[in-house]
Amino acid sequence: MGIANDANAAIREAVRIQALYGENKQITDGNYDKSLAVKCINGTFVGRKMAENVIAYKGIPFVGKQPVGELRWKAPVDCVSDDGVYEAYYFGRIPRQEGNAGQVGSLYPQSEECLYLNVWKAADCGEKKPVMVWIHGGAFELGSTVEPREEGTNFVQENPDIILVSIEYRMNVFGFFRLSHLPDGGDYPDAQNLGLLDQVKALKWVHENIAAFGGDPDNVTIFGESAGGASVTLLPLIEGSQKDFRRVIAESGSPVFTRSTEESIACTNEVMESLGCKTVADLQKVDVEKFVKTASALLGLRVWAERDGKILPIDPYAAYADGAAKHVDFLQGCNKDEMGYFVWGFGLDGYNAFADDRKAKKLDQLTADEKALVESYCKEAKDVSPEYTCDSRLFDQIVFIAPLFRMSENQTKAGGRNYTYFFTPESGTPLIHSGHAIELSVVFNHPEETLVTGRALDETFCKTLRRMWVQFAKTGNPSLTADISPDGKAKEWPMYDLKEKYVMVFDEFNIHPEKEAERKILDWEKTYFLTKYYCI
């Protein structure tokens, strides 16, 4: 998005990303630096120093076999014991997707052989360090761990007491594509949620191997943004998954990024019809590039995980209210003008056409009284800027704000610990404002990555946000005492509660807690109910 229409910029980004590519090889001659080697269940992996005090281990497989051939559309398989020694110098190939210059990691070489993870650690010999596992976004359609603004060296250099991991997972038609309703689809019972099962398998690998890197397998925080934010709110609902993590940081993502079985089947059928296919066997014969390109064109921003009643509950929100994850600590939030990213990405005309179509489909789902509430909201909503329509505010509410508060409410009702935030700094790039993904270069300490931010944000502000994320991962409480706060001033972050509904407002020069009623972030009467209709 964004720079996709700038051919020269897109070419420059493609060259930059593809220059990172290399292939990890087995080391058979014993010639490697033993101080950079870590023995894991599935091999000994040799990393590289990325900075004076940071070692990166890239492209480590977390499955026994990659999901190709007979394993396409099958659940990931466990690693097997391996005494070999392998380079871990380069990112593995990324999942198949339609490359996009706005998410530049998607320009890296691709393959269905994509189930790899990366580890960053300080070079010291400390043990039992908290572990933070990053799950990237991209609407379950694109993105990768190669995204420059999410590279882990700077983060670990600043926070050497953290082990950082990032993971890949299958996306689009290979990760979220229901097949079991097809005549020969019975052998593919998990195809609708394979991307989530990949994440579960990666977390299992982390739990079993991270101690060798100095990490504490019993203190793992999963965090992600957008589809990654949705993922980390869905993973606690998958049976047996909670043993591999204890905390969640969800940035601009929630269970709203899911679809029903009926919606999932309809999406599959659209792609099947366009390709002239009737069976899984037909699909297996389709050229991969054509397959991905067709699905991306048809299903843009509709490739979600499925509320299938098997891997995920039919009603994730109810599951949270019933206490399904009450023992998991949550930190979650969203940005002030989330849809600004999409206005910028699509361009004004493209976004308005998209919004008109999605609004009409959403209104078709509603009762007459509900439609009246939505129309009233749109009439009263304050536009982000003169170029925007009120629809951007409506979709801020539907897609990000209302789902965030429903999660905070339900987790709190169940007796869980929950911290909620609202991010407000604005991009230096026209149209984005405080849009989706603007915080990512802040979280990973990459002020030079200004594609979305348009500028470097205040250094103390950025460091404070990172320190809060790290403090939460360490302790389950993101509050900072004066001695560890970057500006020397204590930052008390109150837990969300059902009466005061406190949020931490991340204003660039004034991080402070506020009651939701004072900021009036959510329209509780006119948009909160829309969470029951999810996102499609």
What is the residue whose two structure tokens read 């996102």?
A: 535
Active-site residue identified among 106, 166, 180, 226: 226
- Give the pLDDT band (50/70/90) at residue 125: confident
Is 226 a catalytic site residue?
yes
Q: What was the pLDDT predicted at 5?
A: 52
Question: What pLDDT is attached to residue 143?
Answer: 95
User: What is d(CA 266, CA 43) in angstroms, rounded to the nearest whole number?
Assistant: 42
Cα separation, 424 vs 508, whole angstroms: 7
pLDDT tens sequence across 363-409:
999 999 999 999 999 999 987 888 888 899 999 999 999 999 999 99
pLDDT at 268 over 60: yes
- Percent of the chain at pLDDT above 90? 92
pLDDT > 70 in the chain, percent: 99
Q: What letter would DSSP give residue 223?
A: E
For residues 438 and 465, the answer to whether their CB atoms sit within 8 Å is no
Report whether 183 contacts 159 (CB < 8 A): no
- Go through the domains of the chain in sequence order and give each one's CATH number: 1-314 (3.40.50.1820), 332-536 (3.40.50.1820)
341-348 mean pLDDT: 94
Residues 6+ apart with CB under 8 A from 4: 10, 100, 101, 102, 345
Pick from 215, 209, 206, 213: nearest CA to 244: 206
- Determine the pLDDT at residue 4: 47
Instruction: Count CB atoms within 10 A of the CB of residue 281.
Output: 11
Nearest to 295 by CA among 101, 95, 107, 15: 95
Q: In terms of C-beta density within 10 A (0-12 exposed, 13-18 middle, 19 or more buried), how is residue 147 classed? A: buried
pLDDT score for 431: 94
DSSP per-residue string spanning 450-499: -TTTSSPPPHHHHHHHHHHHHHHHHHS---B-TTTSTTSS-B--PPP-TT
Tell me what pLDDT residue 2 has. 47
3-state secondary structure of 255: coil
Six-digit token pair at 38?
Answer: 């870590």
pLDDT band at 50 (very low <50, low <70, confident <90, very high): very high
- Does the pLDDT of residue 7 top 80, yes or no? no
**Cβ-proximal residues to 261 (8 Å cutoff; 6+ apart), any chain:** 178, 192, 306, 307, 308, 309
Predicted pLDDT of residue 10 = 77
**Distances from the Cα of 521 to the Cαs of 258, 322, 337, in angstroms?**
23, 26, 11
CA distance 10 to 515: 43
Give the span between the Cα atoms of 406 and 54, in whole angstroms.
39
Separation between Cα atoms, residue 402 and residue 377, nearest integer Å: 13
Please tell me the predicted confidence (pLDDT) of residue 11: 82
The CA-atom distances, in angstroms, between 63 and each of 41, 195, 204, 242 are 11, 13, 10, 19
- Interval 348-360: pLDDT, tens: 999 999 999 999 9
pLDDT confidence of residue 126 = 82
Helix H or strand E segment including 67: none
Q: What's the chain's average pLDDT?
A: 96
